[in-house]
Amino acid sequence: MIYNSSIKWDAVYDVIVVGFGGAGASAARFAADNGANVLLLDSAPEGSEGGNTRYSGGAFAWGNNFEKLRNYYRQTYYPFNYDSKDLDTFVENVLKMKEYSKKYFGIDAKATGRRPNGEYPEYKDADAMQSQSMTQGMYNGGFWKLLRKKVFERLDKINIWFESPAIHLVQDANNKTVLGVQVKRKNQIRNVAARNGIVLSCGGFENNPEMVQNFLGQGSLAPIGTLYNQGKGIDLAVEVGARLWHMSNYDSHGLSLRQDQPHEKFAYMINWKSLFNGSIFIASDDGTRYFREDEEDRHGYKYNHGNWIMIPNQNHPHIVMDQRQYNQLKNDQSAKAAQIKELISYAIKADTISELAEKINAPKLSEAVADFNFLTDDVKRDMFLNRKIETMRSFSEGPYYAIPVRHNILHTHGGAKRNEKCEVIDLEGNPIPHLYEAGELGDIFATKYIGANSIADLLISGKISGENAALPKPKTVELDAVTGASKVPELKSDARTEITNFTAEENQGIGMSENGISDTALVVRVTKDGNKISNVEVLQEKESPSIGGKAIPKLVKEVLCKQSADVDAISGATTTSSAFKDAVAQAISNIK
């Protein structure tokens, strides 16, 4: 969107950050710490922000030898080109990640112990990269909550707009400076200016089927992270003349159940060791094997004649097994037993292999089973896919089963090309003034994504982009706002963290707890009639609807029945129960 004098600014900030995921949270934090007044935008509603960071394990890369670590990364890039300044800057910062954790979070990071020899131990110096974590456990949202907390500690400098997608960047036609962002806010178009810089941190395009087809060449991938990464950052970058890079790179965790839902189940099944152990394999569209079932997951990259590649996805693959395998999984006792038993409940059943082949439209399935049995019983070696023979057992009597699955996608890496300062680069190789980028949108990984590096990158690029965006810039055009964010209700921040944001009459008290499943605080209002608790109202909660959301009404009844916050936790919702009890106890103590 080209700037002209008829454009009126509704508000002016020093820095605008587009995307409230991990990178955006970091960029906003460091921009604020460098004196900037920040607007943080996100297209998701409150409680669904966080991007893919919300779904991540939270481990970040670390090393202590520059030359060895850089050498490892360079091998994983081969034969793709890379920007040496970008890579060197990244490696230098990875070496500092433990100090980063201590300095900016007050936490001594601990080694996770995962992949001590590297995700690609075949490469020289693979053990130069180790993964560290600031939180207990993984995939529990703990890391995201740390980042979000640092933003909410700075609400005096950071305004947050939820459900406010960026529509266009506003650019000066003469010097190409990006001046602001056009935003859709409460069904109105708002023009917001940035004095010093704009950071694009709005994630990838894994939820944009057209971009997935055009850039990845894949037809059907099941997202396993946020549903709000729809490629808008790429559109914004393109319209201001940015050069794109790494558009074909993405990572995965193999397969998910196929139910044609926005979020499919069992995204990490490829890591369940007891699943693919016996008379079971993965059948392609025509029924033949194409996927080494017992290979260690390398974020979706599979061994291919001396290299590791992201294999083309099949349109309707299936996990197939015989009755003996079905019984084995039904009686599984591993840590994943409950999930395995639920997974096999979705199986399609047939008395014969040929009948099963017809049901799942896999014409070569009978041939594939015969080949599998031949390798197992006669050759005693999987000469085609190199699965360990001890994990293979020939198919015996039926019935037979097939579970529909989909290839999944964790995140994409393509976006605008950025330099070591996180400045966005144009088609001529020059920085676009005032425009920066952070996170998985246009990150530095060209191919073979290595686990724990997206977290390291969002921390590193978030800090670099936030600090550089906050630097005062020469004024190019007049950026006075017609209105003002503090005067117009629609332009005020959506973030609320204090009980003073909620009203309480006489004999009422407000209580808040941030210790639930959601990163949005759980807020209750308790009313007393004399010494009796007469009402408990839940004013704010974003707990999981299927678990915490169902538990809360039961907890309300228990509090009213027992006239106390000290009630039993609801089975399966202990975290939500604990947060609710804390909030009620606090509310009771706040009654005046």
Which of the four pLDDT bands, split at 50, 70 and 90, describes residue 497?
low
> CA gyration radius for the chain?
26
Domain membership of residue 109 (yes or no) is no
For range 380-386, the mean pLDDT: 95
Give me the mean pLDDT over the 91-100 stretch.
98
Q: Concatenated DSSP letters for 361-382?
A: T-TTHHHHHHHHHHIIIII-S-
Least confident of 147-151, 475-479, 513-517: 475-479
Domain ranges, residue 418: 11-56+133-250+411-491
Given a cut of 90, whether residue 489 has pLDDT beyond it is no
475 inside domain: yes
- Same domain for 181 and 225, yes or no, is yes
CA dihedral of 164, 168, 174, 177, whole degrees rounded to 10? 40
pLDDT at 541: 86
Q: Provide the 3-class DSSP secondary structure of residue 443.
A: coil
What residues pair up with 62 in beta bridges, in sequence order? 130
pLDDT at 485 over 70: no
At residue 573, the pLDDT reads 82
CATH of the domain at 584: 3.90.1010.20
pLDDT band for 519, please (50, 70, 90 cuts). confident
- Does one domain contain both 298 and 356? yes
What's the rounded Cα separation, in Å, for the pair 368 and 374? Answer: 10
Q: Which tens digits make up the pLDDT trace of 294-304?
A: 999 999 999 99
Of 409, 427, 442, the residue that ends a domain is: 409
Question: What is the pTM assigned to this prediction?
Answer: 0.89
Residue at a domain's end among 360, 379, 409? 409
Are 377 and 299 members of one domain?
yes
Long-range CB contact pairs, 537-544, < 8 A, 24+: 539/502, 539/510, 540/496, 540/502, 541/516, 542/46, 542/47, 542/518, 543/516, 543/517, 543/518, 543/573, 543/576, 543/579, 544/517, 544/518, 544/576
* Section 265-278 average pLDDT: 94
Q: At 405, is the secondary structure helix, strand, or coil?
A: strand
Q: What gap in Å lies between CA 30 and CA 345, rounded to an integer?
A: 48
Residue 548 has pLDDT above 80, yes or no: no
Looking at the structure of the chain, the number of domains it has is 3
328-334 contacts at long range (C-beta below 8 A, 24 or more positions apart): 328/278, 329/274, 329/275, 332/274, 334/272, 334/273, 334/274
Residues 22 and 147 placed together within one structural domain of the fold: yes
DSSP for 277-338 reads: SBSEEEE-TTS-B-S-TTSPPSTTEEEETTEEEEPPPPSS-EEEEEHHHHHHHHT--STTHH
Question: What tokens were used for 468?
Answer: 């550089």
Q: Are residues 17 and 156 in the same domain?
A: yes
Q: How many CA atoms lie within 13 A of 203 on its CB side?
A: 29
SS3 218: coil
Last residue of one domain, picked from the residues 463, 491, 519: 491
Q: Is 118 contained in some domain?
A: no
